[in-house]
Amino acid sequence: MREEEKIDAGVLFCPGDSELRAMKLRAHNLSAEYNGTFEDETEKRSLILQKLVGNLGENAFMQGPVYFHYGCHTAIGKNFFANFNLTIQDDARVTIGDNCNFGPGVTIVTPLHPMLANERLAMRDKNNVIKRMCYAKPVSIGSDCWFGANVTVCPGVKVGDRCVIGAGSVITRDIPSDCFAAGVPCRVIRTLGEKDSMQNMPEVLSDNSVI
């Protein structure tokens, strides 16, 4: 089994494997190339993202800088917006739905390391070769979600559709659809509904209207 296949299987793999290192180097270089562009170089940015992200829906905008670990392990839906400093450490698969908006500093991580220091330093593979190993769990984020600034999504988490995640939250467990959740660790505060409509905030709504 190739090391990338081990990632998908959820078992220990060696991040120092030559094939994986080449994939990461490509993603890191493309991320750096994107970060070196100007915001109005839209065509150049689009071409880089098409190479960098495994599956990217139409009308995506990433303010930059961005940091993808593999890139090819990430799938993002249409109408995606990410503010400054998006980081996606996509050893395992990362899936983001349509119409999602991320504030500055959102981080998604998938890798996990052994808890014991000696096991974190080195493990022995089936061929009796000593290697540094880790494992990873996929992350899934639904459609129509809004993440505030500096949200961190931990390995293995699933966030449902139409969720709002408060700034600075650390998501360590699944969040069901239609929820406002916040905190460290992140927890559901309440279910979202008509009471959250801008119609109930006329001082903010001003002379605008809800569609």
State pLDDT tens for residues 160-206. 999 999 999 999 999 999 999 999 999 999 999 999 999 999 999 99
Is residue 203 in a domain? no
Catalytic: 73? no
Cα separation of 169 and 117, whole Å?
A: 27
Is residue 106 in a domain? yes
Which residues span the domain enclosing 27?
Answer: 3-160
Cα separation of 137 and 52, whole Å?
A: 21
Is residue 202 in a domain? no
What are the tens digits of pLDDT across the range 100-159?
A: 999 999 999 999 999 999 999 999 999 999 999 999 999 999 999 999 999 999 999 999
β-partners of residue 75 are: 55, 95
Choosing from 28, 69, 73, 113, the catalytic residue is 113
The CATH number assigned to the domain holding 109 equals 2.160.10.10
Is residue 194 in a domain? no
Decide: 207 and 192 in contact? Cβ < 8 Å: no
Instruction: Name the pLDDT band for 25 (thresholds 50, 70, 90).
Output: very high
Cα separation of 78 and 65, whole Å?
A: 20
Is residue 207 in a domain? no
Cis ω before 202 (30° cut-off from 0): no
Is residue 28 in a domain? yes
- Higher-pLDDT residue of 35, 205: 35
Interacting residues of 38 by C-beta distance below 8 A, sequence separation 6+:
none
Amino acid in position 150: N
Is residue 146 in a domain? yes
Cis ω before 104 (30° cut-off from 0): no
The total number of structural domains in the chain stands at 1
Is residue 84 in a domain? yes
